[in-house]
Amino acid sequence: MKLLVTGGGGMLGRAVVERASRLGHDVHAATRAELDITDAGAAHRVLHEICPAAVVHCAAYTDVDGAETHWSLAEAVNGRGAGNVATAAQEVGARIVHVSTDYVFDGSKREPWVESDPVAPLGVYGETKLAGEQLVAAANPAHVIVRTAWLFGTGGRNFVDTMLALGAERDEVSVVTDQVGCPTWTGHLAGALVELAERPQETGIHHIAGAGQCSWNELALEIFERAGIECRVLPATSDQFVRPARRPAYSVLGSERRDPVVLPPWQRGLAEYLATRVAV
């Protein structure tokens, strides 16, 4: 299958390209320099040149705090940009697998969020990602929207790498206990995205993240234990780390689908990611 991956130079995009190539697909990775998704004409031109059977749309503005002061850029990329790609994909008869986020929810539940739950983003990042979902769905009937969470992997800024760096420098770190979610390794998520691109019958919203749940504090503890780093992890609350964007307190993703795509436990994703870091 001919597959176009937007954001092909990013953390998730690289993993998708690697996975799809390993499976024998004809993969075209479009970096930001090769495809400015905020330009509808550029999206039209690239999609018509490549004519893929499916698009995995990984390109995004992911700076959650930065989005609060750069609203127009976040909206141009996450909102209208996603719509541009979906529209161009529809023009060439391609389905689109669009990557969204747990941040479309307000975190007020205390049980996993399912696909039909009401959305209520707390910040600009979530608002613009939700706008992207809506524009993708309106532009291309052959769409899959994948909400995922707490990504970590090779080739991009992520919490795991941040903790490893801090653990090497400090004797202790303070990490919040009052934000709970689903850590997700890009290596696992990439396989699910390619699988959905291969299924022409699949449409609608899917929640796909590392199985299980934990707080950022618990994730930090697991990182140090598995990496063999002696660094104490102190409990903290979100109020102690005031940031421009509010985060949902509970953004664990579940699914109400009859046959959901299920990823391995987040602990396994962490172990596999750490193994790849050692190998490199």
Domain annotation for the chain: domains and CATH numbers: 2-214+244-279 (3.40.50.720)
Strand partners, 235: 175
Residue 260: band (very low, low, confident or very high) from pLDDT cuts 50, 70, 90: very high
Whether the Cβ atoms of residue 55 and residue 95 lie closer than 8 Å to each other? yes
List, for residues 121-149, the tens digit of each pLDDT value: 999 999 999 999 999 999 999 999 999 99
Residue 277: band (very low, low, confident or very high) from pLDDT cuts 50, 70, 90: confident
Per-residue model confidence (pLDDT) at position 213: 98
List, for residues 84-119, the tens digit of each pLDDT value: 999 999 999 999 999 999 999 999 999 999 999 999
> Among all chains, which residue has been given the structure tokens 């104490």?
232
Q: Using CA atoms, how far apart are residues 224 and 232, in angstroms rounded to an integer?
A: 9
Q: Using CA atoms, how far apart are residues 267 and 160, in angstroms rounded to an integer?
A: 12
User: How much of the chain exceeds pLDDT 90, in percent?
Assistant: 96
Q: What is the 3-state secondary structure (H, E, C) of the chain?
A: CEEEEECCCCHHHHHHHHHHHHCCCEEEEECCCCCCCCCHHHHHHHHHHHCCCEEEECCCCCCCCHHHCCHHHHHHHHHHHHHHHHHHHHHCCCEEEEEEEHHHCCCCCCCCECCCCCCCCCCHHHHHHHHHHHHHHHHCCCEEEEEECCEECCCCCCHHHHHHHHHHHCCEEEEECCCEECCEEHHHHHHHHHHHHCCCCCCEEEECCCECCEEHHHHHHHHHHHHCCCCEEEEECHHHCCCCCCCCCECCECCCCCCCCCCCEHHHHHHHHHHHHHHC
Q: Using CA atoms, how far apart are residues 265 and 182, in angstroms rounded to an integer?
A: 9
Strands 180-181 and 214-215, by their bridges, are antiparallel
Catalytic residue IDs: 125
pTM of the model: 0.96
**Residues whose CB falls within 8 Å of the CB of residue 180, separated by 6 or more in sequence, listed in order:** 213, 214, 215, 249, 250, 251, 252
Q: Using CA atoms, how far apart are residues 132 and 15, in angstroms rounded to an integer?
A: 22
